Each structure stands twice: as structure tokens, then as C-alpha cells.
Amino acid sequence: MNHTFESLQEDIASGRLTTDEMVLNMGPQHPSTHGVLRLELVLDGEMVVKVIPHMGYLHRCFEKHAENMTYPQVIPYTDRMDYLAAMNNNHGYVLAVERLMGIELPDRVEYIRIIMAELQRIASHLVAIGTFGMDIGAFTPFLYCFRDREYILDIFEKTCGARLLYNYMWVGGVSHDVHDGFVQEVAAFIKHFRPTVVEVNNLLNYNKIFIERTANIGVLPADVALSYSCSGPMLRGSGVNWDLRRDDPYCIYDRFDWDVVVGTGEAGTLGDCWDRHMVRVREMEQSCRIIEQALASFPEGDVTSAIPKKIRPPKGEIYTRVENPRGELGYYVVSDGTGNPFRVKARGPSFVNLSVMDDISRGHLIADIVAILGSVDIVLGEIDR
């Protein structure tokens, strides 16, 4: 019996001929997963029916380790959760312990922390933007992004001796005062960096092929983002105007003038991959604004004067959250009055944001999964902890 293509299509449409779904594993070793993550894709032909993330390949027992460490010894472990935003991870943890102990920080420490956190945000977004472009097939912008990230890592290295995992923010202060010429170097970097954003816009962000690969793909409506508790650029890309630095201010962010960037649906549907990507691009400009204002009023002072000789918070518990480059990073710390935390629980933004992957992937093609996952911008070290 001969079948034509048209007759088969009619049979499928009428239900006389059924096709099986296929399961395809993407990862755990796959360049687009940006780490050891396995996505189990249920497919109907090229169409994605379901996405099931499988994680745990990088699990290191961070929270259990923390119960057997002193409070300062936990800080290097926070570095290793999101290794692209180690400064921000340090910041959230030490803030929680300082609030438990009621420590007031010198102004110089607050300013240094803000500058370091925003430089780290730019460095992290540069990795996200460069690798996202490369996922789509654009290699050159990746080089531009990594070149400028190196300038930031040079500044970090001069300050504290490390380029990736810093252990820089300590309870009550920072490990080292900034080096001579720090203010001038950071100001020179900001001046150098702004034209790079224009170059990346011209090379990548407004490129027709890039827009067609990312606009109207992986649309995350605002109500779905809120119901999944997404945060950071994932949430703001859907048009929700929410940023902890402004809406639940910590440190001294309320002293600076800057804007929260949200998605607008400029290239396609509000909340698509392009919107999430552009939120990261535009947030780097806002970080530059914050850093410039902090440099303009950078105070003198002793960065170690508030560091306690013995760190032993009174009995109690606290939840502190900060806006790291991927969203809300929270630490729930319970103290039993000893030198070790009784409990440390982390709320990681990558873990929460990844949970929406199935919802925003259904109905798309396999090739779109690469774009969707890249736009979520996960770091597996923080998901698995």
C-alpha cells in the first residue's frame, strides 16, 4: 500500500495514525547547559512537549558543612556557590551575621562593598551576555565581553589577591583595604567600558539573526514569573518592576540615584529571551552609575575597626536577602549562641529560576531550548550547592 506525505498528514490529523514521543537527554555534558545539568526533553518530532531538569551533579553539602564551621570559615564556601558572583555571595552572608550581632559598619566598608558588588554584577552579566551570544552562534561579542571582564578581575586581584573566589567581605568589614590608585582605576574602567556596551549592541543585540532567534521565544508572562517566585533579570525581563536594592534596601543603596531596568517587549513579546538578555545589558549601565556616585564620595576610614575579635552571635535567627546578578539570594541563619552556626539555609536564584524551564519551553523547537536556557542564566554551583 502506497502512502503519500499528504495522506500521512491526514491520517495523523484524524487520529488514525499515532506517533510515539521520544526522550532526548541534553547533558549533563553539553556546552549550552553551562555546567553539569541534564535536561530530559520529551519530544514530539522536533517539538518540545516537556522539559525535566535533573540536577545534583555538583552537590557539595554546603549547608551541612556550614554547621561544622565557625562563622568566618563559612565565607569561602559562599564564594563557591555562584562562582561568577562570589562578592555578592559573601555580601549576603556577612550581612546576615552582622545583623544577628548588631554590628554597625564604617562608611568606607559600606562604599567598598557597594563598588565591589556592582563591579561583580557587571563581570557576571558580561559572562552571561557573551556566552548567550555564543550559544546563538555569535562568537566575536564573547571576546569583547571577556576582554572587559578581565579588567574587573585585575582590580579584584590587586585588592585581595584573588581573581574568582575572594573571601573578601568579612563579618564587620573586608579582608583588605583597597589598594593605592583603586579609585582612579575603577573610574578609568567605567570610562573604557561604556563604549563596549555600544559595540555589543551593534554587533549582537540588534542583529537581525540574533533577534529572530531570541524574540518571541521562551515567553515568561509576569504572573507566571511571580507564581514561580522568579527574581532578578528573569522577573524584570517580564516587566515586573522589582529590585531588592531599591524595594528592600540594604547597605547604602538608598543613597544613590539609579533606575530599575525592566523588559518592554521591544523586539517581540514581553518576557521573551531577548527581553531578559537586554535587561542584563542595560543593568550594566545602571551599575556604572552607582559606582561613579560611590567613587565621587568615597570616604576615608579603617576597614577593620568593626571586625569582632570573637564572632559568637546571640541565640536567634535571621533571614537576609540581597540582589545578586541572578536575582534574590537569601540566607537563613540560626544561631545557638556558639561559635558555629546551628543552621545555614541558602535561597539561590538560579535554583528557583530554573524551575520555570518546563513552562517556558513547551511548544518550542529543540534548537530553541539552547536560547531559553541561556536566557535563564544559571550557575550550577549555586543550584546544587
Q: How many CB atoms lie within 10 A of CB 183?
A: 14
Q: What pLDDT score was predicted for residue 2? A: 59
pLDDT at residue 347 tops 80: yes
pLDDT at residue 92 tops 60: yes
- Residue 2 has which C-alpha cell? 502506497
pLDDT at residue 6 tops 80: no
User: Residue 73 — φ and ψ, nearest 5°?
Assistant: -70, -15
**279: confidence class by pLDDT, cuts 50, 70, 90:** very high
Per DSSP, 314 falls in state: P
The CB-based long-range contact list for 156-160 (8 Å cut-off, 24+ gap) reads: 156/87, 156/116, 156/119, 158/182, 158/185, 159/116
Place of cell 562578592: 87
- Residue 58 has which C-alpha cell? 555538583
Which of 12-16, 293-297, 371-375 shows the lowest per-residue confidence on average (mean pLDDT)? 12-16
Smallest CA-to-CA distance from 214 within 263, 262, 255 is with 263
Half-sphere exposure of 46 (CA within 13 A, CB side): 5
pLDDT at residue 8 tops 80: no
The contacts of residue 212 (CB under 8 Å, 6+ apart) are none
Contact 348, 385 (CB under 8 A): yes
What is the per-residue pLDDT across 328-343, written as a single tens digit (0 to 9) for each?
Answer: 999 999 999 999 999 9
Q: In the chain, what percentage of residues exceed pLDDT 70?
A: 97
Q: What pLDDT score was predicted for residue 354? A: 92
| Dihedral in degrees, nearest 10, Cα atoms 344, 349, 350, 353 | 130
Q: What pLDDT score was predicted for residue 1? A: 53
Place of cell 500521512: 8
Strand partners, 320: 331
Listed in order, strand segments (DSSP E) in the chain are 22-26, 29-30, 35-36, 38-44, 47-54, 169-170, 173-174, 316-324, 327-335, 343-347
Mean pLDDT in residue range 280-303: 93
Please tell me the pTM assigned to this model.
0.89
Listed in order, strand segments (DSSP E) in 55-95 are none
Q: What pLDDT score was predicted for residue 158? A: 92
pLDDT at residue 33 tops 80: no
What is the per-residue pLDDT across 120-153, written as a single tens digit (0 to 9) for each?
Answer: 999 999 999 999 998 888 888 899 999 999 999 9
Mean pLDDT, the chain, rounded, equals 90
**Angstrom distances, CA of residue 20 to CA of 5, 9, 17:** 18, 15, 10
pLDDT at residue 18 tops 90: no
What is the per-residue pLDDT across 182-234, written as a single tens digit (0 to 9) for each?
Answer: 999 999 999 999 998 888 888 888 889 999 999 999 999 999 999 999 999 99
User: Residue 166 — φ and ψ, nearest 5°?
Assistant: -100, -35
Place of cell 556616585: 293
DSSP reduced 3-state for 324: strand
Angle between helices 86-101 and 71-79 (to 10 degrees): 160
Place of cell 487520529: 15
Would the CA dihedral through 98, 90, 317, 110 be positive or negative?
positive
